[in-house]
Amino acid sequence: MAIDRTFLFGEDHLTASIALGMAHGAIKGIFSDKCLKNVNASYQRVQRIVEKGDTVYGINTGFGPLCNTKISKEDTKILQSNILQSHSVGVGHPISAELAKIMLILKIHALAKGYSGIAETTLQRMLWHLDNDAIPVVPSQGSVGASGDLAPLSHLFLPLIGLGKVEYHGKTIPTQELFKQTGLKPLELGPKEGLALINGTQFIAAHGVMVVHKLQYCLRHADIIGAMMLEGLQGSMKPFFEELHELRPFKGNQHVAGRIRTLLQGSEILEDHIDCERVQDPYSLRCMPQVHGASRNAWLHLKELLEIELNSVTDNPVIINDELTISGGNFHGQPLAMALDYAALAASEIGNISDRRIYLALEGNSPGVPKLLMNDTGINSGYMILQYTSAALASENKSLCFPASADSIPTSLGQEDHVSMGSISGRKALNIIENVEKILAIELLTSAQAFEYRKPLKSGIVLDEIHTFLRTKVAFAENDRVFADDIEKGIEIIQNREIIDLVDRVMDEKQLKWNTPHLEEFETY
């Protein structure tokens, strides 16, 4: 991928999209002379503390409950190497290389701010790993999100001292093999460096980056697919009127209503039933702005908090200046843990209401749309069993919605007596979102089947284009077939964001504009 721009670590403002751009190779992170000057100044402050002999946590003391154990000047370097090894206790399947790379990006940015006492050589080696795509292998389990993400960050930085494993050129290899191939040698960490590397929230925050990214696309898909289902079932347009949402002006509600109004603009299907006798639609159609909108609001909250975290110093202790070193709690994961739990609930609700629309489509209560979305039923089961799958996924998501941040188990012999469990919040949120993608794929198939029965009437330009595109991938079903194949194609369309790309292209080609409040807030991250 061609590099579009550069990013100044420690100076520029980091966002989720910039972190993803760096992880995918479109943005290159670099250090300025100013950044390295600040980093070296902080490093020298730590050296002076060691020479002076003042007791400062993590520099010349043990860790956690051993904070009162003084470490000699000669042993401070051994201490830093030992902490990486002793804290590398992660278990479970490794996280993806993409997530590990984002962790590395976030940690480099935090350390480059010059408050951590890290050596320039250590920071440059971290950047080497990033630039050369030699990504450490990080187990998914083992962090309680208290002193940050101790176990995952320890694994992330084992390669600095010649230990652990990395993904390199498509293979997982021991770090020693990487050194043989590249000529690198292990680093000798200085005072505080080990602690600076493993204290922080970068595992939680990396998951936050992916949640913001993937949930945003789920939300966009939900509006589009929900609008197609509204057309297929001849739902009313009135619940999406701007006048209604001005009376309850939540940003998410207004945004969703505006998106659906735009998608249905010029619809012949709407005109065909504008004077029908139906008084109101079931909530899964009528309340899309309120339900999708509430999830949008939760997404926006997470995005705002995450952006603060991405540009923060979250290790401990923090070297403020020559006179002030603070042992505090900036590593505690609670600010993101709670927001990620909220985002997990928001994602689950998108799947929940989507499943209800799928069920609604099967009932046969909309004129012209047959029960189970197929004319010849009895011998055929139609789309009946697809809803079993969406129900199973929606139920699984509900079971995953218990907030991890509501729990705390004391660790470190009671020194860390309240922990955030934010790593679990992040992992669960991504799991839920993956299930939502599958539910939305099933709604895409069922909404398209219902939509077919409205022909020859046309919908809005964008929805018609989506339906035409979908029929190049999945045929209209007149009889039963192995619907798992259809679902897999639907999931692929959702995960590859083919519909989103199509919508953007059609809007551009037809010179259409979104009649959507708060567009920039909800479409950028």
Token duo for residue 65 = 């409950």
Task: Give the HSE-up count for residue 182: Cα atoms under 13 Å, Cβ half-sphere.
Answer: 21
β-strand pairing of 27-30 with 165-168? unpaired
Enclosing H/E stretch for 420: none
Contact 360, 348 (CB under 8 A): no
Catalytic annotation on 57?
A: yes
Q: What is the residue type of 286?
A: R
Phi/psi at 307 (5° precision): -65, -35
Q: Spell out a b/e string for 303-314, using b for 16 or more CB atoms within 10 Å of the CB, else e.
A: bebbbebbbbbb
Q: If you ran DSSP here, which 8-state letter would residue 93 be given? A: E
Handedness of CA 148, 152, 158, 163 (dihedral sign): positive
Helices (H), 313-421: 334-362, 386-399
Token look-up 């994961």 returns 333
How far is residue 160's CA from residue 151's CA, in Å, rounded to a whole number? Answer: 15
Contact 317, 54 (CB under 8 A): no
Token duo for residue 394 = 């929606």
Q: What is the dihedral of CA 391, 393, 396, 401, to 10 degrees?
A: -100
Q: Catalytic pick from 57, 115, 342, 453?
A: 57
Which residues are marked as active site? 57
